[in-house]
Structure formats: C-alpha cells, structure tokens
Amino acid sequence: MTVFFPLDTARLRLQVDEKRKSKTTHMVLLEIIKEEGLLAPYRGWFPVISSLCCSNFVYFYTFNSLKAVWVKGQRSTTGKDLVVGFVAGVVNVLLTTPLWVVNTRLKLQGAKFRNEDIVPTNYKGIIDAFHQIIRDEGILALWNGTFPSLLLVFNPAIQFMFYEGLKRQLLKKRVKLSSLDVFIIGAISKAIATTVTYPMQTVQSILRLFTHQNIY
C-alpha cells in the first residue's frame, strides 16, 4: 500500500473531483505535487494504513474462521469460497466503514479541488475527525457509503473465488506453488474483481467524502 499510495491518491482525486481537466494518472500526480507539495501524494498515509490493518484483520480472520467451521477438513468449492467471502465482507464493512469515512476525509484534506461543491475540512487527526463528524453530522454519518460498500463485498468475494479456483487448477499440475505463481494468480484475481466492481467504488468514494449538506 505504501509503494502504490500515490496511485491511490490519484484514483481518489479523479473519482471525487469530476471537474479536474487532467484525466491521466501521471498528469494528476504532477498537478498535485506542483500545487500542494512533493509529499501531497502521501497525505493521509497513516490513517489509510491503520484502516487497512484493521480491515484486513477483520476480513481474513472472519473468512478463515467461517471456512474452517463450514468446510471442516472437506474439500472446498468455488461456491463455498464465494459465500464465505461475501459474509466476511459484510462483517468487515459494518465494523470498519467509520474508519474508511475518516480515512477518506483526511486523505483529501488540504487538496485543491476544481469542484466548488466540495467543502474543505479541518481535522487535526483521526480522533478529531471522528469527533467533528459525530458533532456536526451525527453518528450515522460515519457509515456514509455503507450501501455501495456492502455491494462491494463482492470485490474480495470475487477475488477469493478466482484466487482459490486458479490455485486449485495449478495444484492439479504441480505439488507446490511458487511465490511467482501466488503473485500472478493474486494479481489476476484482484484485477478481475476490481474491474467488475469499479463503478461502485466511485460512488463509495463520493459518499464518504461529501457531508449531508454536500449531498442534499
């Protein structure tokens, strides 16, 4: 995440700031650096990493626990992997959406937007962001974007379905997978899942950023 963080920053800007003229990744990054400073592409790094650690822990713990209970030593199937991935995703969304709402606000704080409808925020950190959002918008604002996030649980579900399926196919031909094999099937699985669910990711980013006043 740290290595590719600038690319994620460019993605988020393109999703929420539709009036930005530059539409390519490298041009957006050059604009951000020129207007906001050399370290601007890494703004919000700590909240993102913190949220990612919590989110991945919840997802993988739930996924593997459910799989262990359901499969119980039997051979897993693609259908079971999809269902378990979906349930784990729902649990993850309901528990960690507040972290990602705060994460998105902090990551875009101080950004120079072309869209005048975006109201700038002034948070001192993660705790202060939680406090201000609850005070000004109500506690339910921390779950902004929950509906598209629930739909996006298909992302890791689809990813794990393809990952486990590809892994089973490769293991039929060899005894053990190499690190390169795992890397390739992981990348292919994630690319497929992201392509399928990308429109909902755009909606999710906008809802997380905008306050109720922005939306209505």
Residue-wise pLDDT tens digits, 112-156:
777 676 777 788 888 998 999 999 889 998 998 888 888 888 887
pLDDT tens string 66-110: 888 887 777 777 778 778 888 888 999 999 999 988 888 888 887
pLDDT at 216 exceeding the cut of 90: no
Mean pLDDT of the 194-216 span: 74
pLDDT at residue 103 in the model: 86
pLDDT at 215 exceeding the cut of 60: no
Q: 45-215 maps to which CATH number?
A: 1.50.40.10
Q: Tell me the helix, strand and coil percentages in the chain, rounded to 5.
A: 75, 0, 25
pLDDT at 8 exceeding the cut of 60: yes
CA–CA dist 162, 61 (Å, integer): 19
pLDDT at residue 201 in the model: 86
Total residue count of the chain as it appears in this document: 216
pLDDT at 214 exceeding the cut of 50: no
94-97 contacts: CB < 8 A, separation 24 or more? 94/146, 95/58, 96/51, 96/54, 96/55, 96/58, 97/142, 97/143, 97/144, 97/145, 97/146, 97/149
pLDDT at 213 exceeding the cut of 90: no
- How sure is the predictor about 211, in pLDDT bands with cuts at 50, 70 and 90? low
pLDDT tens string 156-194: 778 888 888 888 888 888 878 889 999 999 999 999 999
